[in-house]
Amino acid sequence: MSTKRWMEFFTAIFRNPWGRILLLVIYYLGILLGLVYRYGEGDLTAPEFIYQGF
Amino acid sequence: MRTPHLVAGALAVSLLGVGAAAFSAFAFFFEDKYVHAVAGVEHTELNNGNVLEQVALRQEDLLPIYGASELVLLETEYQANRFFSTYPTGFMVFNIASKGGSSLTTAQKLAALGEDLRGRKVVISIGPAIMTMAPYGEVNVRHYNGNFSPLNALELAFSPHLSMDTKSRIARRMLDFPEPLEKHPFIRFTLENLADLSPLRRLAYQASQPLGWIQISILRLQDHYNTVNFIRHLSSGQTTITRKDREIDWESLVPIAEKEQIENTDSNLYGVDNSQWPKIKELFLNPVPPGSKDKEFREDVENAREWHDLDLALRVIRELDAEAMIMSSPMNVPLWETIGVSQEAQQAYYDKLHSVVAPYDLPVIDFRQFDSEPYFSMDLASHASRKGWIYVNQALDGIFHGDLP
């Protein structure tokens, strides 16, 4: 589909209240998943550790 | 609809929550399936999490053992996590020990387990090294920092199972080590609130609880991810558990392990393991008469801060109602005598140990009957030798099967 057709497709969905909700859910979910991907692995590793023994 | 963004945002967050819950459920199932495999391999990289410890606590045939270098320093087939790897008497240890571990770290680890610890049999291994050798009898800052876990710290701080008094005492102690908190301002804020407990601080602590629980949930998910990822990278050989019932002839193993230990001490005349000798040989350049250092030794042992930290760990154990056993390495009497501390003075360690544990009414195994046994310990810090491990394993076997204490 051309860009114009895509725009028409999304505009049509956006005009429908439930379609708008669906698109917004996808939009927000995308943001959240992006944040999870970026920061989700976390850092449970300890600082650099040098065992000095006794 | 007048608030589509609000509805969509709430739905997206809900969907993410459902996904996270589903992943957690899958992770628990996966970890439960492979926890025995992890018990058999070196897994110190999971030590800063706690989800696998929770899973291990639920297994009838795993004996969790908390401790420090005395459990991991000497890599030998006699180490408990290798010795029992085929479940010869029906169980295996789940080793939760790391080099540089201390009672303060253990207190946080145990606190993080909360209700899972109630009624569970666990072994708390300690050694005299910090109390007798470290400056002020205090855990080395680098060692504490290296073992710091944000997840355990937060679980302790917001634990609903511990009294505010205990949390406050531990928080005050944790604030003595500010470096690992630099990266975690929220944990520092929480600990400062707990340490003070003035009405305003208490209010701030209560107000920050929701944020604390969100943070804990995220860290738990990350812990699950790390654990699942760790298990996925185990080889098929590592995930295959071979169980072989057999009677262990402890008495016949002792001379075999002793012979191996003697072969590993040929660099010196003091029975110190070759791996440890270079670290301490300066101490033996000019041997002094036994007794000449008794006064300093007794003062050091009496005033060691590690006892205070052990008391904190014992408080956690009591409040969480764990069935804990305290297992201490013995002094290495002949070696300490060589550097000026008489056998009589060395008894101060056992006396203090028992006086600290006594109020909590927990059983103590101190192995003092072996403190003059040649080659039981491999160094001045009482790390068990190959021969020592045989006796330790025998004790662990007795603990698991209820024959000890």
| pLDDT of chain B, 405 residues: tens digit per residue | 678 899 999 999 999 999 999 999 999 999 999 999 999 998 988 988 999 999 999 999 999 999 998 888 898 999 999 999 999 999 999 999 888 999 999 999 999 999 999 999 999 999 999 999 999 999 999 999 999 999 999 999 999 999 999 999 999 999 999 999 999 999 999 999 999 989 999 999 999 999 999 999 999 999 999 999 999 999 999 999 999 999 999 999 999 999 999 999 999 999 999 999 998 988 888 878 889 999 999 999 999 999 999 999 999 999 999 999 999 999 999 999 999 999 999 999 999 999 999 999 999 999 999 999 999 999 999 999 999 999 999 999 999 999 877
> How far is it, in rounded angstroms, from Cα B188 to Cα B184?
6
> In the prediction, which pLDDT does B405 show?
73
Q: Do A44 and B5 make contact, defined as CB atoms within 8 angstroms?
A: no
Q: Do A24 and B8 make contact, defined as CB atoms within 8 angstroms?
A: yes
Q: How many CA atoms lie within 13 A of A9 on its CB side?
A: 7
> How far is it, in rounded angstroms, from Cα B83 to Cα B87?
9
Amino acid at B403: D
Give B121's contacts (C-beta < 8 A, 6+ positions apart).
B63, B323, B324, B325, B399, B400
Name which of A17, A28, A33 is nearest B9 (Cβ-Cβ).
A28
Among A41, A43, A44, the strongest candidate for a mutation testing the B interface, having the largest count of B CBs within 10 A, is A44
Going by their DSSP bridges, the two strands B92-97 and B121-126 should be labelled as: unpaired
Amino acid at A9: F
Residue of chain B with shortest Cα separation from A37: B222
Residues in chain A with CB shorter than 8 Å from the CB of B16 are 29, 32-33, 36
Burial of B64 (0-12, 13-18, 19+ CB in 10 A): buried
> In the prediction, which pLDDT does B170 show?
98
Residues in chain B with CB shorter than 8 Å from the CB of A47 are 145-146, 148, 179-180
| Selection from A23, A46, A8 nearest residue B101 by Cα | A46
List A residues 20-39 in contact with B (Cβ-Cβ < 8 A): 20-21, 24-25, 27-29, 31-33, 36
- CA distance readout (Å), A50 to B143, B161, B394: 7, 34, 32
Element (DSSP H or E) covering residue B53: helix B51-57
DSSP 3-state assignment of B61?
Answer: coil
Going by their DSSP bridges, the two strands B121-126 and B62-67 should be labelled as: parallel
> How far is it, in rounded angstroms, from Cα B61 to Cα B43?
18
Residues in chain B with CB shorter than 8 Å from the CB of A41 are 222, 225-226
Tally: H helices and E strands in chain B = 20, 5
Which residues are B64's β-sheet partners?
B94
User: Is residue B65 a contact partner of residue B374, using CB atoms and an 8 Å limit?
Assistant: no
User: Is residue B31 a contact partner of residue B37, using CB atoms and an 8 Å limit?
Assistant: no
Give B204's contacts (C-beta < 8 A, 6+ positions apart).
B189, B193
> In the prediction, which pLDDT does A47 show?
57
pTM of the model: 0.91
Name which of B143, B147, B222 is nearest A40 (Cβ-Cβ).
B222
A46 confidence band (pLDDT: 50, 70, 90) = low
| Selection from B376, B356, B379 nearest residue B367 by Cα | B376
> How far is it, in rounded angstroms, from Cα B124 to Cα B107?
10
User: Is residue B392 a contact partner of residue B80, using CB atoms and an 8 Å limit?
Assistant: yes
> In the prediction, which pLDDT does A40 show?
72
> How far is it, in rounded angstroms, from Cα B365 to Cα B326?
6
Does A54 contact chain B (CB < 8 Å)? yes
Tell me the two tokens of residue B101. 């571990």
Is the pLDDT score of A48 beyond 70?
no
Q: Do B151 and A33 make contact, defined as CB atoms within 8 angstroms?
A: no
